[in-house]
């Protein structure tokens, strides 16, 4: 089958218990989508068909950036379908299977975003009831989506619930199921999802599910009676307070758990924040994991430039005598003070495909630009090959070509810039290496919404993540990088001084 109604099926993305998901082109809307089709073998099962339709209906009720938008759903030629946004990413279960335990910072970022989606669902009286790693989709830039609302429960509506469980079975994934759900209680609420989220955090950090036992009876007994395992038993370097947080999240009594997923995630985040400065960066990475951050370049900040000078200032300060690279600034913001080069701690942004080029690891296909050779000789004692002026088209001759993103209303997260004549190539290469998956542009050849040149008229090479379709995704990337990275829209209308609020 190559067509399905108005859809051209371009390839199978995955197959699950209830059907298949295809990459498809919607000829009516002119867009590529993810098309989920109910398996033909289940078409005559009224209960499963209802569950399939219900999942799309409940997800469509939610207006949260961490829930994949549903375009439409229905039935074509007797087969149910759901048309949703196509998201490039991997589910968390696949990431853990492939990479092993995740660094604490990475786990915190994932849990925080999942918690946001759960709190949005709970605000609509929806209990997801199947929170697990395979239902968390993570994009290459670290944005997280909560998926599969097929067995979600609407608080206070029992008729549908009884119809969907007429066989007497408990629906959900047992490894992450709250104790009250095993008991068949009718008062299951949002804290059941908090329990599951705590189980997911444990698996993120250890690479194993909380209870690894043989057989269903033993698994039920563990959830009902066995104390939650301690993360520090497997990873003694992690803060002991994580054990208490997960234990509270997995408390047998729902009343003793965190009231909301957001409260749980915030507590985890505070613990990670308080602990991180005391740890060496390498202790937060798995040895074999592609999430390992690149070692950031070491730049010397100019001592007479205050932090306030890096952003918009009424009176720009005089440039320092030595134009050394400095921390991230408002280098693409009109009217900014002294512009500078960003050097932030390398972070774990998502699944990145690393190439064989030695100087810059990058995500495949994230930038466009023509490679041009240049042999300019830098001034001030700079070695040859480091141009004092941008080469033709702005390309610096790196393995990552200069990009020219479209000015079409998408968003980017800027993480640093190079403004030192004679050192553009070196500084950009260091930034690209520190931020796997990043790209660079020459602002004077880019969109009008970006500042074209520095305060003294020099060129600005900016390194960025994206583009992203929504500001929420760009802001998530900004939150992951930390420091003073910021988000801007790419268009020809917005003033250069305007930043995207997050």
User: Per-residue pLDDT for 324 more than 90?
Assistant: no
In the chain, list all ranges with CATH 3.30.200.20: 3-85
Would you state the CATH architecture of domain 90-284? Orthogonal Bundle (1.10)
Residues 31 and 53 sit within 8 Å (Cβ to Cβ): no
pLDDT at 276: 60
Assess whether 130 carries a catalytic annotation.
Answer: yes
Q: How many CA atoms lie within 13 A of 330 on its CB side?
A: 20
Question: Residue 307 to residues 244, 333, 377: CA-CA distances in angstroms?
Answer: 37, 15, 33
- State percent of the chain over pLDDT 90: 41
Angstrom distance (rounded) from CA 496 to CA 492: 10
pLDDT band at 133 (very low <50, low <70, confident <90, very high): very high
Q: What is the pLDDT of residues 245-299, one digit of tens each?
A: 999 999 999 999 999 999 999 999 999 988 864 544 333 333 223 333 333 322 2
User: Per-residue pLDDT for 338 more than 80?
Assistant: no
Residues 76 and 5 sit within 8 Å (Cβ to Cβ): yes
DSSP 321: S
pLDDT band at 499 (very low <50, low <70, confident <90, very high): very high
Q: Tell me phi and psi for residue 353, to 5 degrees.
A: -85, 115
Using DSSP's 3-state secondary structure scheme, residue 68 falls into coil
Mean predicted lDDT score pLDDT of the chain:
74
pLDDT at 168: 36
User: Per-residue pLDDT for 214 more than 60?
Assistant: yes
Q: Which of 38-52, 58-72, 118-132, 329-343 holds the top average pLDDT?
A: 118-132
Q: What is the pLDDT of residues 312-323, one digit of tens each?
A: 222 333 333 332
Sequence-ordered alpha helix ranges (H) in 171-260: 179-182, 190-206, 216-225, 231-234, 241-249
User: Per-residue pLDDT for 355 more than 70?
Assistant: no
Q: Name the active-site residue from 130, 148, 175, 395.
A: 130
Model's pTM, two decimal places? 0.55
Q: What is the pLDDT of residues 161-180, one digit of tens each?
A: 433 343 333 455 789 999 99
pLDDT at 19: 80
User: Per-residue pLDDT for 203 more than 60?
Assistant: yes
pLDDT band at 391 (very low <50, low <70, confident <90, very high): low
Q: What is the pLDDT of residues 69-108, one digit of tens each?
A: 889 889 998 899 999 999 888 999 999 999 999 999 999 9
- State percent of the chain over pLDDT 70: 69
Angstrom distance (rounded) from CA 394 to CA 438: 17
In the chain, list all ranges with CATH 1.10.510.10: 90-284
Kindly report the CATH number that applies to the domain delimited by 3-85.
3.30.200.20
User: Which range, of 7-11, 201-205, 242-246, 306-310, averages the lowest pLDDT?
Assistant: 306-310
Q: What is the pLDDT of residues 20-49, one digit of tens each?
A: 899 999 999 999 999 999 887 776 677 777
């Amino acid at each position: 089958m190559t067509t399905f109604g108005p859809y051209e099926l371009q390839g199978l993305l995955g197959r699950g218990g209830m059907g298949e998901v295809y990459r498809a082109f919607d000829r009516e809307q002119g867009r590529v989508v993810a098309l989920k089709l109910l398996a033909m073998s289940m078409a005559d099962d009224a209960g499963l068909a209802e569950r399939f339709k219900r999942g799309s209906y409940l997800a469509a009720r939610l207006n949260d950036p961490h829930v994949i938008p549903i375009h439409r759903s229905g039935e074509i030629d007797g087969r149910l379908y759901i048309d949703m946004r196509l998201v490039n990413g991997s589910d968390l279960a696949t990431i853990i299977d492939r990479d092993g335990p995740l660094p604490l910072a990475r786990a915190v970022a994932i849990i925080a975003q999942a918690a946001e989606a759960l709190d949005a669902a709970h605000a609509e009286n929806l209990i997801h009831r199947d929170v697990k790693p395979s239902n968390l989709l993570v994009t290459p830039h670290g944005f997280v989506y909560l998926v599969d609302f097929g067995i979600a429960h609407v608080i206070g509506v029992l008729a549908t619930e009884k119809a969907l469980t007429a066989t007497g079975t408990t629906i959900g994934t047992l490894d992450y199921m709250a104790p009250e759900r095993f008991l068949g209680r009718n008062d299951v609420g949002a804290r059941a999802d908090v329990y599951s989220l705590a189980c997911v955090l444990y698996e993120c950090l250890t690479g194993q599910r909380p209870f690894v036992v043989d057989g269903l009876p033993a698994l039920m007994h563990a959830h009902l009676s066995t104390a939650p395992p301690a993360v520090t038993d497997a990873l003694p370097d992690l803060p002991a307070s994580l054990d208490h947080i997960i234990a509270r999240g997995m408390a047998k009594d729902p009343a003793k758990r965190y009231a909301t997923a957001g409260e749980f995630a915030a507590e985890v985040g505070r613990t990670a924040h308080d602990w991180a400065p005391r740890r060496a960066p390498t202790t937060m990475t798995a040895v074999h994991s592609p999430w390992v951050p690149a070692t950031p370049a070491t730049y010397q900040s100019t001592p007479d430039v205050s932090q306030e000078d890096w952003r918009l200032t009424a009176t720009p300060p005089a440039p320092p005598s030595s134009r050394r690279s400095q921390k991230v600034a408002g280098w693409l913001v009109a009217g900014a003070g002294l512009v500078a080069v960003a050097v932030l701690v390398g972070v774990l942004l998502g699944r990145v495909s690393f190439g064989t080029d030695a100087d810059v690891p990058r995500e495949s296909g994230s930038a466009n630009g023509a490679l041009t050779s240049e042999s300019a000789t830098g001034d001030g004692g700079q070695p040859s090959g480091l141009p004092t002026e941008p080469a033709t088209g702005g390309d610096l001759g790196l393995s990552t070509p200069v990009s020219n993103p479209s000015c079409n209303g998408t968003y980017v997260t800027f993480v640093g810039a190079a403004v030192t004549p004679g050192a553009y190539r070196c500084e950009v290469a260091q930034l690209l290496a520190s931020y796997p998956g990043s790209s660079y542009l020459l602002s004077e050849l880019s969109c009008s919404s970006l500042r074209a040149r520095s305060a003294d008229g020099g060129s600005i090479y900016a390194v960025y993540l994206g583009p992203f379709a929504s500001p929420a995704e760009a802001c998530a990337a900004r939150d992951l990088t930390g420091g003073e990275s910021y988000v801007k829209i790419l268009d020809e209308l917005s003033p250069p001084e305007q930043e995207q609020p997050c």
